[in-house]
């Protein structure tokens, strides 16, 4: 069941959908905006973002969002993730591609130089260890059943 949305008084239109259609906006777009916290007036009066309209990033103007993404070396999902964290679209594009801390293969080489298997180091990094700690801690030695039995028998 959908929630009824009240329009400003006196309403020119009977529903949000009718007001959106009169403004040239899809009703689902207006309803989604209201669901995300927009006022009904703002949801109906703001035009939708077209993927082919010009996009301004800093001093440069790109013909489309796709062109701006290509120039920044980004993909749409990166921009959406940044926007979900509260960063504006223009700022998300202006940030560009985040540089990686080490060149490709550097972690593998560092792991092998430390006498560790690269998968051990990558696993430690994945769970939040710092790189110096991941390289300095010796790997855990797992005992075979025979070794464990020898220890419990007191050999």
Q: Between 155 and 31, whose confidence is greater? A: 31
* Backbone phi and psi for residue 133, each to the nearest 5 degrees, phi listed first: -65, -40
Average pLDDT, stretch 18-27? 85
CA 93 – CA 68 distance, rounded (Å): 7
Query: pLDDT of 30-52, one tens digit each?
Result: 888 888 888 888 888 887 776 67
User: Looking at residue 38, what DSSP letter applies?
Assistant: -
Q: Say whether pTM exceeds 0.75.
A: no
Q: Helical H runs in 24-117?
A: 27-35, 40-45, 65-72, 76-84, 89-95, 106-113
The dihedral sign for the CA sequence 37, 41, 46, 49:
positive
CA 150 – CA 148 distance, rounded (Å): 5
CA 83 – CA 89 distance, rounded (Å): 6
| Distance, CA of 43 to chain centre | 25
How high is the pLDDT of residue 135?
Answer: 92
Judged against a pLDDT cut of 60, whether residue 9 lies above it is answered with no
| Distance, CA of 28 to chain centre | 24
């Amino acid at each position: 069941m959908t929630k009824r949305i009240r329009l400003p008084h006196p309403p020119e239109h009977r529903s949000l959908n009718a007001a959106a259609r009169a403004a040239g906006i899809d009703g689902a777009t207006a309803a989604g905006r209201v669901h995300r916290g927009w006022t009904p007036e703002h949801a109906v009066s703001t035009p939708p973002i077209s993927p082919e309209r010009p996009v301004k990033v800093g001093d440069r103007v790109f013909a489309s969002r796709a062109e701006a993404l290509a120039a920044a070396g980004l993909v749409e999902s990166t921009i959406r993730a940044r926007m979900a964290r509260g960063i504006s679209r223009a700022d998300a594009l202006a940030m560009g591609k985040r540089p990686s801390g080490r060149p490709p293969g550097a972690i593998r080489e560092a792991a092998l130089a430390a006498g560790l298997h690269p998968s051990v180091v990558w696993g430690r990094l994945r769970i939040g260890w710092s790189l110096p700690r991941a390289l300095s801690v010796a790997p855990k030695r797992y005992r075979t059943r025979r070794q464990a039995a020898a220890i419990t028998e007191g050999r």
